[in-house]
Structure 1
């Protein structure tokens, strides 16, 4: 009987399996983000040319949010489509989930580093010469490189594991599970709003986030990401692939 390869090797194999087609997790989002940025840059220059105003500091763009939303989709596709294929090659559910999680953390770090570099370039060039903002939205303030990285890293980790947990629900219970999941989520949101209203706690919640600040709030999001990661694993370890 052969000796099983070390855990690191098994997880690396799962990562390579996910990256066998790099278009979905890396190439496509990078190209789309580049197109969105270049389109905005062209529009900014047209505005400046036609108005004679080269100060677009009041123009803010949320195009960078595309990356976070797309990573949710990537995580969902990864967990749903690759899961049965991996099991067919003898990968355990535990190794598959740990390897997928490692990939999510790697992608989060890679994208956060790339966005941070462009955010610093944007700041150094005074918003591409127009005081415009794309990679460094105005609400991020005067963050340094490490803080920029942390904000984007925690944001991407949150969306990756939200997608993983959602996909695990689908793999485990299919359409019925998704309906129950989103119905329950909506009920929890409504109940939370109702509870905060009757206890007059909105001010306290707002004060908590104000006290935590931007970096503190993003750091707290890691706790939610960890809970979603645990929930995703708990669901996936009992899931049966259907295809």
Structure 2
């Protein structure tokens, strides 16, 4: 376990991207929301949502992408095995997600206490959660962050294994696959059924269990690629 923590600390060489930038974004998001309201002429007289949360997932994911493309070769040069680096990555991803999830819960509580930052703005409160229970919110926020992080860990390993060619092929292939699925769902009128499927599940399942299952699948794929990746 001590060895694993040592390898995790190697990844925290990239601590600004993994910790400082995401936390800084949480602090800045109310100000960004105010700027959006001003540009849209929103006076704050009615409840409204400002969709900024995907920015958090993007910043978090980019940090792990840097870890796989920059820290991974450095760690191998220090004699760290791929297996231990993968385990340390999972530890860092989980710890970061729990920390940022807690930060999001705190921001959501401040948002409620201040009446939506004094203008009925909803930035952190996910209406789809259908609950204000802090523990459920913490797990939900953390699950979404873990899912986004796992995706970029996989992207980073693909880059290490096949470089730009692998990234281009992955992007084109994924885009084509999603477009095909979307077209099929539209032609068969499956979207209402898909919406009902997710609506029938508890919020904790949709925002925590499903992202964690996705993260496990993406993590497994990343490990298969990482085993043959070279610096």
Q: TM-score, normalised by structure 2?
A: 0.89
CA displacement, residues 34-55 of structure 1 (integer Å, 9 cap, x when unaligned): 23323434776x79xx99x653
In the aligned structure 1, how far is the partner of 2:115 from the partner of 2:195? 32
- C-alpha offsets along residues 144-199 of structure 1, whole Å, 9 cap, x if unaligned? 10121122111100100000011111101111111221122122212322443454
Task: Please show how residues 92-241 of structure 1 align to structure 2 within 5 Å.
Answer: 92-218=81-207, 219-241=209-231
- Describe the SS at the equivalent of 2:158: helix
Aligned residue pair count: 229
Question: CA separation of 1:197/1:61 partners in 2, compared to 1, >3 Å: closer, same or farther?
Answer: closer
Q: CA RMSD in A?
A: 2.3
CA 1:210–1:18: 2 relative to 1, 3 Å: same
Query: Does the residue aligned with 2:228 lie in a helix, a strand or coil?
Result: coil
SS of match in other structure, 1:240: coil
For the structure 1 residues 204 and 30, does the alpha-carbon distance in structure 2 shift closer, same or farther, using more than 3 Å as the test?
Answer: same
Aligned to 2:17: 24
SS in 2 for 1:239: coil
- Match of 2:125, SS state, is coil
Gapped runs of 5+ residues in structure 1? Answer: 1-7
Q: 5 Å matches for 1:4-83? A: 8-41=1-34, 55-58=45-48, 60-83=49-72
Residue 123 to residue 166, structure 1, CA distance change in 2 (3 Å): same
Contact in 1 for aligned 2:25/2:56 (Cα 8 Å)? no
* Residue aligned with 1:19, SS: helix
Q: Which 5+ residue runs of structure 2 have no aligned equivalent?
A: none
TM-score by length of 1: 0.85
Which structure has the larger Rg? 1
Call closer, same or farther: CA 1:166–1:21 in 2, change over 3 Å.
closer
